[in-house]
Amino acid sequence: MMRRTDVLVIGAGPAGIAAATAAAKNGCSTIVLDDNVAAGGQIWRGGIDSARTKEDPAKTKAIAALRSSGAEILAGRQVVDQPAPGVLRAVITMADGTRAESFAWDRLILATGARERFLPFPGWTLPGVFGAGGLQALVKGGFYVEGKRVVVAGSGPLLLAVAAHLQEYGAKVVAIAEQAPLRQLLPFAASLLGSSLGKLLQGARYRASLARTPYRMGCWPVAVEGEESVRGVRLTNGRRVWSEPCDLLACGFHLVPNTELAELLGCKLRGDFVEVNVRQQTSVANVFCAGEPTGIAGLEAALIQGEIAGLSAAGAAREASELYGRRSREQAFARRLEAAFRLRPELRSLAVPDTIVCRCEDVPFSQLQEHISWTDAKLQTRCGMGPCQGRICGSAVQTLFNWRATSVRPPLFPVPLEVFDSEEISISPETIVH
C-alpha cells in the first residue's frame, strides 16, 4: 500500500505532535507515524491504568490540538527503510502478521526523540536491571513493582521523575544515585530559578514525594550484586564503596538522540546531533528535524522546534520566525542541561574484562579493547551488528572508547522477509534475469 501526503511526520512525541499540528493547520495534508500504540512519545507515555496515570495538562492540550488540526495519526508503525527517494516504508504488526505500508512525502519532519544511554558495569545484564525510563514504561504497561526495593541510578533529570513515578506505584525507592556532582548541578538549578520556574517546581514536587529517599549527587553504581538476579547494587561516591540491597535497579545515563533515520536519509550530523538551520531544516532538501535529535533540550524545546518545523514545512515562514526567540531561550536551557549532567570520567572504567558490552552478540569489554577503531572492532567482534543495530552498545562504546558508531544499514528495525515484496512501489519492472 502506498499513500501520498504533503507532510509526513515521524514520531508522535511532543515535537512530532507540534509539527503535525502546525503543518495541518496551515493547509497541508499531514500524516504522523509513531511506533508506540498511542501518541505522546516517551515523556507523555500513557498507562493502562488510567485512574493512576495523571495526564500532563500540556499533553491533553497538545493532543486535542492535533486531533482538531486534521492531521492523521497512524500508531504502531515502525519506519524501516527508504524504498525510493521521497518514500519511507513502515511496518505494522497485527495479529495475522506484519504488513508494510509506504508513504510518499513532499516534506518530511523527523521527530524521532531520544533513548537512554546505558553504560556497562559488572552485573548490568542481570535480570532485575532495567533502564530508568524503561522501567517506568514497563510499570505504566502493568509491570508490578509494589513493595519492591528499587535503586534508581545514572544521570539526568529523568531519574527524579522515574523515582517519583515508581514510588506512586508502590515501589520503595531506597536510593537515587546521580553521577553528576553537586558543584556541576548547582549552576543548573540556580538558572532554573531565573528562567524556568515551572521546571524547578516540577523537580521540587518530585523531590517532595520522595522526601524520605536519599538523593545522592556525585554517586554512581560500580557493580550489581547477585548471581541469578539483582540482590543489591554497589554504589560509590569516589571515596568509599557501599552496598545498597534492592530487588530492582533502574539505571540510565541521561539520553542519546535517535538519529538513525536521519543518517539513513543522508542528513548531516554535527557531533551526535542532526544539523538543522533556523527553519529546522536538515542538510537534505525538504527534510526537517525537531526535538531531541537536534540536541537534548527537553519538552518545551521539543514543542517549539516542532512547531517551527511544521510551519516551515508548510511554507509559513513569518509565523515560524516569530518563535525563534522562545527557541533560543530553550536552547540556552539545553546547554546548561548538557553541562550539568556531563558524564564523569570514572564511568568509562567501570567495565571489567568479562563485562558484556554488546548484548546482541555477547561481546565482552576485553575483546573490544584489542581494537583501534569502531570499524575494526565491529568487523572482528560483530559488536553492534545484532538485531538492535548498535542502538544500545553504540552509545556505550562511544563513551568508553570515544568511537563513533558510523554506519546505519537498512532495515532500521528487524522485519520479516515477507515485507520485502508485500507492498507496491511503483518501480518499472526492468530486466531481472534469473
Partner 1 sequence: MRGFDVLILGAGIVGCACALECVRAGLRVGIVERDVPGGATTAAGMGHIVVMDDSPAQLALTRYSRSLWQELLPHLPVGVEYERRGTVWVAADDEEMGEVHAKRKTYALAGVESEVLDARALAAAEPNLRAGLAGGLLVLDDAVIYPPTAAAFFLHEAVRGGAVLLRGQGADHIGKGIVTLRDGTTYAADRIVVATGADIALLPSLPIQKRKGHLLITDRYPGFLHHQLVELGYLKSAHQISSDSVAFNIQPRLTGQLLIGSSRQYGNENPGIDQRILRSMLERARSYMPALAGISGIRAWTGFRAATPDKLPLIGPTDDPTIFLAMGFEGLGITNAPGAARLLVDGLLGRVPGIDATPFLPSRIALMETKHA
Q: Which residues bind partner 1 (CB under 8 A)?
A: 81, 83-84, 97, 361, 373, 375-376, 379-380, 385-387, 389, 409-411, 414-418, 420-421, 425, 427, 430-434
**What is the CB neighbour count within 10 angstroms for residue 254?**
24
Q: 363: which 3 cell numbers?
A: 561481546
CB closer to partner 1, 315 vs 416: 416
Distance CA 341, CA 296 (A): 11
Residues found in the chain: 434
CB closer to partner 1, 142 vs 387: 387
CA atoms within 13 A on the CB side of 355: 22
Minimum Å gap between C-beta 108 and partner 1 is 18
Distance CA 346, CA 365 (A): 16
Please provide residue 93's backbone torsions phi and psi, each rounded to the nearest 5 degrees: -100, 120
Helix or strand run (H / E) with residue 18: helix 14-25
**Bridge partners (DSSP) listed for residue 7:** 30, 107
CB closer to partner 1, 181 vs 410: 410
CB closer to partner 1, 85 vs 147: 85
CB closer to partner 1, 46 vs 410: 410
Minimum Å gap between C-beta 405 and partner 1 is 13
The per-residue DSSP string of 21-38 comes to HHHHHTT--EEEE-SSSS
Distance CA 82, CA 284 (A): 14
Helix or strand run (H / E) with residue 57: helix 57-69
Distance CA 60, CA 321 (A): 26
Minimum Å gap between C-beta 99 and partner 1 is 13
Distance CA 278, CA 276 (A): 7
Going by C-alpha positions, the residue among 401, 23, 290, 428 that lies closest to residue 393 is: 401
Minimum Å gap between C-beta 368 and partner 1 is 14
Minimum Å gap between C-beta 245 and partner 1 is 36
341 Rama sector, left if φ>0, alpha if ψ -120 to 50, beta otherwise: alpha
CB closer to partner 1, 211 vs 432: 432
Q: Could you give the 3-state DSSP secondary structure of residue 272?
A: coil
CB closer to partner 1, 40 vs 384: 384
Cα–Cα separations (whole angstroms), residue 390 to 121, 387, 394, 401? 17, 8, 5, 15
**E strands, 325-371, in order:** 356-358, 363-364
Minimum Å gap between C-beta 95 and partner 1 is 14
Contacts of 62 (CB under 8 A, 6+ apart): 14, 17, 18, 21, 44, 303
β-strands 129-130, 149-155 pairing = unpaired
CB closer to partner 1, 184 vs 422: 422
Minimum Å gap between C-beta 344 and partner 1 is 31
Minimum Å gap between C-beta 433 and partner 1 is 5
Minimum Å gap between C-beta 266 and partner 1 is 10
Minimum Å gap between C-beta 412 and partner 1 is 10
Minimum Å gap between C-beta 100 and partner 1 is 11
CB closer to partner 1, 142 vs 429: 429
CB closer to partner 1, 322 vs 424: 424
CB closer to partner 1, 198 vs 414: 414
Q: 412: which 3 cell numbers?
A: 532500521
